Amino acid sequence: MKSSLKNLRELILESIKVAGFESGLNEIQLAQTKTLEHGHFSTNIAMLLANKYGKRPQEVAESIKAELEKESVFTKVEIAGPGFINVLVEQNFYTTVCQAIVNSLDDYLEEELDLESNKKTVVIEYSSPNIAKPLGAHHLLSTIIGDSLAQLFRRYSYKVIAENYPGDMGTQFGKLIYAIRTWGDESTIEKEPIDELLKLYVRFHNEAEKDPSLEDFGRTEYKKFEEGDAENRKMWEKIVDWTFADIQPLYDRLGIRFDAVHGESFFEDKMEAVLKEGRSKGVFVDGEKGSWIVMPDDPKDPPALVKKSDGTTLYLTRDLAQVEFFEKEYHPDLMVWAVDVAQSFHFNQRFQVARKLKLTGAELKHVEFGRMQFKDGAMSTRKGNIIKLKEVLDEAVERSVALIEQKGAGLSDAEKQELARIMGIGAVKYNILHQNRVSNITFDWDQMLSMEGNSAPYLMYTVARAKSILRKAEIKVDDTEKYELSLNSSHETQVALGVIGFAEALKRAVEEFKPNHIANYLYHLAQSFNAFYNALPVLKAESKEKETRLLLIASVIQVMETAFGLLGLEVPEKM
């Protein structure tokens, strides 16, 4: 028998059948017990069945227990509380799992999570900054959360298409084109594109307050652009390129990459088809003054506007064209958008209309997240939600340098620089990813760069520690592949259980679109590991114990490195 939690669950299901119950389930819940006194895993299945059969839970549990006791993998079976069945699992099981993990985590996960049967395609849109504007806090959140989701789905065997959808349309371009021609200097813009463009934009607004006719000039330029005027098209292209010249280095520093970039403008010529389709299907009906609307499912909601009375299209219209494009281009099973909760009304409306139009059979998911809140004056110099990501990253790296100096481990200057980069960028990402995205995300320098708390530096320190033990033992992770576990201390067992919990954490993170399950998993594993490390010698231990501990350490490294990757964190070699 292969050792996996999946097998344990199947075994329990089998025992239930033999005991004479029909659970009707494909899978049962098997939770890790909080403390080891009550076994390693616990299931509430007897209580569920008792309900179904109108029997006493204890009685049901007793008959299942009798079957489970025949299985050698369970060394102890106990009934607890109102009818929980707790099982203690034999050592061999853990040995096989850890050996599989150090040998190939990929193969192990595939087996444990049945990934072969799960080959699906997902399109994930994230980041989607607005051209000629600094990144807003919500763009940073979307970028980091979306990238982590892309990693999670990749690890879950999905084919992932990471899409960026820059906001490169809108009347602000007419104003900018006018402002650049009137007051701008291209060589100055090239040096600090986003700052300069923002200045010009602000200037336009200030001047327009004094002389409202400027608004008309702006509108005229935009209209010319829309009608295909060559010079305005060219200027627009420049503005897009300048903006990306500013943003790309930030993506590079964050290690963010996309498979495709299809901005709003890409959908300009694809809306007509959607409009026609909606019309012919009778979904787009006449609204006021020649506009087109879609009636809502819930009569309390307002209708959705897809074409204005002046004939122009909307954000929603473009977003419908995007769904149609994703469907035709990728045939995905799932489409995901990592976008601010402030747009949830828009997304609901969009999904409703897309379904009415039958644009796709894919599942449509808005992964929403809350606001960024800045703690105790962190970033207080910034107004509103506009942040300068470059400054945040620079400061995070600087603060990491200070932290590393304090710790003072024997690193060369180059090593310190590299570590500060990994730690600083990692801290910013982890700070976002470890929080439950549905509530507001707090930005707190102290917490983010603490060596003790739930932070990237703490986790990095933990892996670096684990790695240094293997270095001192002069072995590599996969050298431990034949080692056997003999778990005698609860510290060791906790680490083994921690390692085994990874697959579940991954599954949950994917199913709920929540990277924080991986973060919290990592934090708990790091705590178990550090307790183990502080309590037990490794290199000086007797040979059997030494083998046990080295295999555990190697498993921890393997799992942590992978989990780091899921959060977009790099792994430091030394700290």
What tokens were used for 55?
């029997």
Non-local (6+) Cβ contacts of 3 within 8 A are: 92, 93, 94, 96, 97, 100
Burial 520-554, CB ≥16 within 10 A → b, else e: bbbbebbebbbebbeebebeeeeeebbbbbbbbbb
- Measured CA to CA, the distance from residue 497 to residue 94 in angstroms comes to 8
Q: For residues 320 and 403, which CB has a smaller minimum distance to ligand ARG in the complex?
A: 320
Q: Smallest gap, in angstroms, from Cβ of residue 336 to ligand ARG?
A: 11
**134 vs 568, beta carbon nearer ligand ARG:** 134
The binder of ligand ARG chosen from 42, 99, 128, 516 (CB under 6 A): 128
Place of tokens 């006021």: 288
Binds ligand ARG by CB under 6 A, chosen from 43, 99, 130, 148: 130
Q: Are 556 and 528 spatial neighbours (Cβ–Cβ below 8 Å)? A: no
- Burial, 62: exposed, middle or buried (Cβ in 10 Å; 0-12, 13-18, 19+)? middle
Q: How far is CA 123 from CA 42, 214, 452, in A?
A: 37, 41, 37
Q: Is 324 in the site for ligand ARG (CB under 6 A)?
A: no
Size of the site for ligand ARG (CB under 6 A): 9
Take residue 356 and report the two structure tokens written for it. 């009415």
Lookup: tokens for 266: 């890409």
Q: Is 570 in the site for ligand ARG (CB under 6 A)?
A: no
Give the nearer residue to ligand ARG in terms of CB position, either 165 or 258: 165
Q: Does 125 bind ligand ARG (CB under 6 A)?
A: yes
| Per CB under 6 A, 126 contacts ligand ARG | no
Residue closer to ligand ARG, measured from CB, 94 or 351: 351
Say how far apart CA 448 and CA 65 lie, in whole Å. Answer: 47
Residue nearest to ligand ARG as judged by C-beta position: 167
CA–CA distance from 271 to each of 307, 442, 473 (Å)? 10, 39, 63
Strand ranges across the sheet with 292-294: 285-286, 292-294, 304-307
Considering beta carbons, is residue 111 or 319 the nearer one to ligand ARG? 319
Region binding ligand ARG by CB under 6 A among candidate stretches 124-132, 220-228, 501-509, 515-523 = 124-132
Binding string, residues 478-507; x marks residues near ligand ARG by CB under 6 A: ------------------------------
d(CA 348, CA 342): 12
Query: Of 44 and 130, which has the nearer Cβ to ligand ARG?
Result: 130
Under rule CB under 6 A, residue 337 binds ligand ARG: yes
Which residue, 7 or 385, has its beta carbon nearer to ligand ARG?
A: 385
Figure out which of the listed residues 254, 256, 304, 339 binds ligand ARG, where binding follows CB under 6 A: 339
Q: How far is the CB of 350 from ligand ARG (least distance, A)?
A: 8
Closest approach, Cβ 174 to ligand ARG, in A, equals 18
Nearer to ligand ARG, 322 or 435 (CB): 322
Q: What is the DSSP string of 161-183?
A: EEEE--B--STHHHHHHHHHHHH
Q: What is the DSSP string of 237-289?
A: HHHHHHHHHHHHHHHHHHT---SEE--GGGGGGGHHHHHHHHHHTT-SEE-GG
Smallest gap from Cβ 125 to ligand ARG, in A, equals: 6
Q: Which of 157, 243, 265, 322 binds ligand ARG (CB under 6 A)?
A: 322
Taking the complex as a whole, the smallest distance from the CB of residue 147 to ligand ARG amounts, in Å, to 15
Contact 320, 359 (CB under 8 A): yes
Binding mask 142-181 for ligand ARG (x = CB under 6 A): -----------------------x-x--------------
Which residues form the interface with ligand ARG (CB under 6 A)?
125, 128, 130, 165, 167, 319, 322, 337, 339
